[in-house]
Structure 1
C-alpha cells in the first residue's frame, strides 16, 4: 500500500504534476529538466518540408520543360528546312513539267479548234493552264465562255430576263432556267451563230455570260461543228454556278449530238462535276473526262484523250477519282 500512496502523492503528465498538496506546472520543462517541442515548431517544420518539396518540383519541372522546348525548337527548325527543300524541289518539277509539256503532247491536236466553257469562281490560272496545253498540242482556242453568277440568281427581275431570253414561261423555277440555259448554250456551240440572232451575244448582253476572245475575232466566230468544247469546273470554294444544273445538261446535249467534248475538274475541288458526268449514262463514254485537269498529268491526259476522241471517236475517263479508268490514256 505504501507504493500506491507514493503514486497518488505525485502524478505527472507532460509538464504538469499533481501531488497531494496540489498541482504545479514546470513551464515547458519536465521533471528531468529537458525542454519539450511545442506545436508551433512542429508546424514550422512541416511547412518547411512542403515548401522544399514544392520548390524541388518547380525547379525540376522548369528544367524538363526547357529541355522539351529546346527539342521541339530543333525539330521545328528541321521541319521548316525540309519543307523549304521540298517546296524548291516541287517548284523545279513544276517548271520542268511546264517547259517539257509540249514534248509530252506533241501535235496531238494539230489544226483542231476548241471553245472553253467555264463559270465565275473557277480559277483563271487553271483555265489558262488548259488553254496552254491545248496550244502546246497544236490546237487553237477561239474563246473562253464563262457563266456569271447572274445565271444562278434567284431574284425575280433576273430570272424574268433569263426566262425571256430562253423563251421559257414566266415564273419558271431558277433551277429549271439554269438547265434550259445549259442546253441552249450547247446547241449554240454545236450549230454556230444564227445570221439574225446570236444567242451567245444575247446572254452576254444580259450579263449571264462573259466571253473572252482568244483566236476568234468576234463572238460570231465562236462555236460550230468544227470546234470541240471543253467544259471546266472545280474550286476549293463553294460553286458560284452549280455545275449539276448548268454543265451536266450542257454535256448531255453535246454528247447526244456526238459533238467532241471534254469535261475537266480540279484535283482538290470541294464540289463534284466530273464524277457526276461519269455517273450519267447519257454522257459517260461519249466524252473525255479528267478529274485532275489543273495538274500536269491531268493536262497531258486531256490533250491525248481529246486526240483519241476527235480522231478515233473514243472517249475515256482519266485521273485519280471515282470512275477514272487510268491516270493517262493508253496506260
Structure 2
C-alpha cells in the first residue's frame, strides 16, 4: 500500500517540475521578446530622428524663403496701390502682429492707410442683432434700401460701407455727410472702435480675419456675420480682400471658408489665407490690384484656394468707378 509519504513526494515532484518548466519557458521566451522590443525601439528612435531632421530642414527652407520674400517685398509691390486709400477692418480675435505687418506691406505698395475699424464680440453676438438693427434703422439715409431677405448684419454692412468706403475716386478722403453719426453711435453701443481717420472714405478695404476660427454653438453664425461685412464693404468700394491664416483643422467658425463656400460672395470678395507669411502679404496687395480690375480670387494654401497668389499685373492701377468687384 502506497503510504502518505509517497503521495507527498509525488505532489512535490509535480510542482517542482511545473516550476522548473515555467522558469525554463520564461527564460527561453524572454530573450526573443526583449530583442524584438529593442529592435522596435531602435527603429522608432531612428524614424523620429529622421522626421526631426526633415522638420528642421523644412523650417530652415521656410525661414530662408520668408527672409528672401521680406527683403524683396518693397520691390515686388512698389507702386501697386499708389493713389488708393485703404481701410483696415479688424475682426474680433484678429492678430495685431499680423495686422501691423500687413499694414507695412500696404504702405510699401504706395497705399494711403485711412485708419482702422475694429469690431467687437458684441457686434457678432446673435443675441444683440436687435441693437444692431435698431441703430441701422435710426442712422441710415432715407434713400438707403435693403433687400427683403437681408439680415441685421447685411444691413449694418451696407450702412458701414457707406460710411467708410466709396467706389468713386473723387470721393476718396472725404466723409459721407449722410452717415456722419454712424461711428459715434456704433462706438457708444460698444459695437466697434476706430483708429485714424476711417470716416474719410477709402477706395479699398482689407479685412483681417480672426487668428483662430470661432468655436461654440454660435461659431458659424459669427463667421457668417463677418462674411456679410466683407461682402458689404466690397460692394461699396472698389474691392475688398479678406485675409488671415489657414486653420489647422476645418471649422464652421472659419470666416475665410465661409466666404469661399458662398458662391455669390466668393465672386466678389477675394481671400488670402497666408497673411501670417510674407508671401501672403504680397498676395494681398496683388489681390487688391486684381479687385481694381473688377476680378476676385481665392488665394493661399488652404481648402478652396485656387492659386498661391494672383498673377502679377502692371504696376500702376488706373482709377475706376466700378462698384465692387
TM over 0.5, shorter chain: yes
Q: In 2 relative to 1, CA 159–325 (structure 1 residues): closer, same or farther, beyond 3 Å?
A: closer
State the Cα distance separating 1:265 from its structure 2 match: 4.0
State the Cα distance separating 1:119 from its structure 2 match: 1.0
**Match of 2:165, SS?**
helix
Relative contact order, higher structure (CA 8 A, sep 6+): 2
Q: CA RMSD in A?
A: 3.6
Q: 1:291 & 1:27 partners in 2: Cα distance?
A: 88
Matched, 1:206 2:189: yes
Q: 1:283 & 1:163 partners in 2: Cα distance?
A: 22
Taking the TM superposition and a 5 Å limit, the aligned residue runs for 1:70-109 are 70-109=42-81
State the Cα distance separating 1:102 from its structure 2 match: 1.7
Q: 2:21 & 2:50 partners in 1: Cα distance?
A: 44
The superposition leaves residues 204-239 of structure 1 with CA deviations (integer Å, 9 ceiling, x where unpaired) of 2321112233xxxxx4x5342x53112232443416
Q: In 2 relative to 1, CA 167–129 (structure 1 residues): closer, same or farther, beyond 3 Å?
A: same
The superposition leaves residues 49-105 of structure 1 with CA deviations (integer Å, 9 ceiling, x where unpaired) of 222111332344334433433443344344334433432332232222222222222
**Match of 1:114, SS?**
strand
2:153 to 172, 178, 181: 178
**Aligned equivalent of 1:315:** 295
Q: Is the 8 A contact 2:124 2:225 kept in 1?
A: no
Q: In 2 relative to 1, CA 308–238 (structure 1 residues): closer, same or farther, beyond 3 Å?
A: closer
Matched, 1:134 2:116: no
**Aligned equivalent of 2:205:** 229
Q: Is the 8 A contact 2:115 2:195 kept in 1?
A: yes
Matched, 1:123 2:98: no
**Aligned equivalent of 1:66:** 38
TM (norm. structure 2) is: 0.71
Q: 2:266 & 2:60 partners in 1: Cα distance?
A: 39
Q: Is the 8 A contact 1:182 1:247 kept in 2?
A: no
Q: In 2 relative to 1, CA 276–41 (structure 1 residues): closer, same or farther, beyond 3 Å?
A: closer
Taking the TM superposition and a 5 Å limit, the aligned residue runs for 1:208-287 are 208-213=191-196, 219=197, 222-224=199-201, 226-238=202-214, 242-248=222-228, 250-252=230-232, 254-255=234-235, 257=236, 259-268=238-247, 270=251, 271-278=253-260, 280=262, 283-287=265-269
1:300 to 282, 288, 296: 282
Structure 2 residue runs of 5 or longer lacking an equivalent are 139-149, 167-174, 313-325
Q: In 2 relative to 1, CA 278–161 (structure 1 residues): closer, same or farther, beyond 3 Å?
A: closer
Q: Is the 8 A contact 2:78 2:108 kept in 1?
A: yes
State the Cα distance separating 1:317 from its structure 2 match: 0.4
Q: In 2 relative to 1, CA 61–285 (structure 1 residues): closer, same or farther, beyond 3 Å?
A: closer
More strand by share: 1
Q: 2:187 & 2:32 partners in 1: Cα distance?
A: 73
Structure 1 residue runs of 5 or longer lacking an equivalent are 1-15, 17-24, 30-36, 169-174, 214-218
Q: 2:182 & 2:310 partners in 1: Cα distance?
A: 35
Q: How many residues align?
A: 284
Q: 1:323 & 1:196 partners in 2: Cα distance?
A: 36
Q: 1:195 & 1:39 partners in 2: Cα distance?
A: 107
**Aligned equivalent of 1:22:** none
**Aligned equivalent of 2:165:** 190
